[in-house]
């Protein structure tokens, strides 16, 4: 009997949600994703000391540049042990500024270019705000592919597909967290609100012929992963990847393309109204941006101490 991880890989591209080289080398995902929180954790590992030192050299006190250099350096190392792509995130504090997001994304791509890494191996991660989606639309037209993160609502998914973004990362676990707290009960299997959200988006995209990749993210347990077996991609933490690797049980494909809702179109006002009407999405998007911003600041402080 093969492991659940090996079975999952038969119909879903498995992505490692980590910056830990050792875990990636051991579990052999196709792609990997990072974010400010994961980079902050990576920075505490002994093997990253030289990357931190190199990141601050010649930055003349520009800590944003040092952070981008560190993120790209981590991405370069990860790309040595995976066959696919690395997702590197734009500073979350720019989430409501389209032009600033574009400039930072272009700098990150430029750093990868300087390192000899082709842009076909990089995804630029951007928060799924209206401004972030507009920046992604321009990047995609310029040949830079994007990963729209902190996605919690159907409206965000609709707007991302219309903008032609390469990939979205709907956050299963954080949706689950919100509803578990709001309703005071647990959810399992197909009734899990995070699972239901990703399933709805997946069916909508397939029914309407969108090429945008759906990559479920932010998992709390194996049950959520198993319910989304068949999704285009799933980005999974090393702990849960290891649990899947250790489990020899059966893992059938659950998610298949089927009937989906009719194609929708959202302008800025209708997007903002839909977000306003979705308390969970509004709260979790704002919270996610704040948390990433705080970890970005902590990473900057860590780099400043080494300058």
Provide mean pLDDT across the span 58-87. 95
Longest dimension (CA), the chain: 56
Report the percentage of the chain scoring pLDDT > 90.
Answer: 89
**pLDDT of the residue at 22:** 86
**pLDDT of the residue at 258:** 82
What does the alpha-carbon distance between residue 97 and residue 135 come to, in Å, rounded to a whole number?
9
**pTM for the model:** 0.95
Q: Hey, how many other C-beta atoms are within 10 angstroms of the C-beta on 110?
A: 13
Provide mean pLDDT across the span 274-288. 98
**pLDDT of the residue at 99:** 98
Mean pLDDT, the chain, as a whole number? 96
Provide mean pLDDT across the span 290-296. 97
What does the alpha-carbon distance between residue 192 and residue 98 come to, in Å, rounded to a whole number?
33
Helix, strand and coil percent figures for the chain, each rounded to 5: 55, 10, 30
pLDDT at 166 over 90: yes
Q: Does residue 13 contact residue 233 with C-beta atoms inside 8 Å?
A: yes
What does the alpha-carbon distance between residue 32 and residue 236 come to, in Å, rounded to a whole number?
9
Confirm whether 125 is a catalytic residue: yes
Judged by DSSP in three states, 215 sits in strand
Q: Does residue 277 contact residue 222 with C-beta atoms inside 8 Å?
A: no
**pLDDT of the residue at 21:** 83
Report how many domains make up the chain: 1
Q: 159-173 burial by CB neighbour count: b if 16+ within 10 A, else e?
A: bbbbbebbbbbbbbb
pLDDT at 145 over 90: yes
Residues 6 or more apart in contact with residue 223 via CB below 8 angstroms: 188, 189, 192
Task: Return the minimum-mean-pLDDT range out of 50-59, 196-205, 262-271, 272-281.
Answer: 50-59
**pLDDT of the residue at 260:** 82
What does the alpha-carbon distance between residue 58 and residue 287 come to, in Å, rounded to a whole number?
34
**pLDDT of the residue at 223:** 97
Of the residues 125, 141, 284, 298, only one is catalytic, namely: 125
Residue 249 token pair = 């049980």
The DSSP element (H or E) to which 17 belongs, if any, is: strand 13-17
**pLDDT of the residue at 264:** 95
Q: Hey, how many other C-beta atoms are within 10 angstroms of the C-beta on 152?
A: 27
pLDDT digits (tens, 9 = 90+) for 257-271: 888 899 999 999 999
Pick the more confident residue, 58 or 202: 202
Provide mean pLDDT across the span 44-66. 91
What does the alpha-carbon distance between residue 281 and residue 258 come to, in Å, rounded to a whole number?
25
Residue 138 token pair = 């321009």
CA atoms within 13 A on the CB side of 239: 5
Report the percentage of the chain scoring pLDDT > 70.
Answer: 100
Parent domain of 207: 4-305
pLDDT at 64 over 90: yes
Question: Residue 86 is part of a domain; what is its CATH number?
Answer: 3.20.20.70
pLDDT at 1 over 80: no
């Amino acid at each position: 009997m093969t492991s659940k991880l090996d079975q999952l890989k038969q119909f879903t591209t498995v992505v490692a949600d980590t910056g830990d080289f050792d875990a990636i080398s051991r579990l052999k995902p196709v792609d990997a994703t990072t974010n400010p929180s994961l980079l902050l954790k990576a920075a505490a590992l002994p093997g990253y000391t030289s990357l931190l030192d190199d990141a601050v050299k010649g930055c003349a006190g520009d800590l944003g540049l040092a952070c981008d250099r560190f993120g790209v350096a981590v991405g370069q190392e990860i790309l040595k042990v995976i066959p696919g792509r690395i997702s590197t995130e734009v500073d979350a504090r720019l989430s409501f500024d389209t032009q600033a997001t574009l400039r930072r994304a272009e700098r990150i791509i430029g750093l990868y270019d300087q390192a000899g890494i082709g842009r076909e191996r990089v995804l630029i991660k951007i928060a799924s705000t209206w401004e972030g989606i507009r920046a992604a639309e321009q990047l995609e037209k310029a040949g830079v592919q994007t990963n729209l993160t902190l996605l919690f609502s159907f409206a965000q998914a609709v707007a991302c597909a219309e903008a032609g973004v390469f990939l979205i990362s709907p956050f299963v676990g954080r949706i689950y967290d919100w509803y578990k707290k709001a309703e005071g009960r647990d959810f399992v299997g197909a009734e899990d609100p995070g699972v239901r959200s990703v399933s709805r988006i997946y069916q909508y995209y397939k029914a309407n012929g969108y090429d945008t990749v759906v990559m479920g993210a932010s998992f709390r347990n194996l049950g959520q992963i198993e319910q989304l077996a068949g999704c285009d991609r799933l980005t999974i933490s090393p702990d849960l990847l290891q649990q899947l690797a250790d489990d020899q049980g059966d893992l059938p494909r659950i998610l298949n393309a089927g009937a989906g809702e009719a194609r929708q179109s959202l302008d800025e006002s209708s997007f903002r109204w839909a977000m306003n009407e979705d308390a969970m999405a509004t709260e979790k998007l704002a919270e996610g941006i704040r948390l990433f911003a705080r970890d970005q600041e902590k990473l900057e402080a860590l780099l400043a101490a080494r300058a």
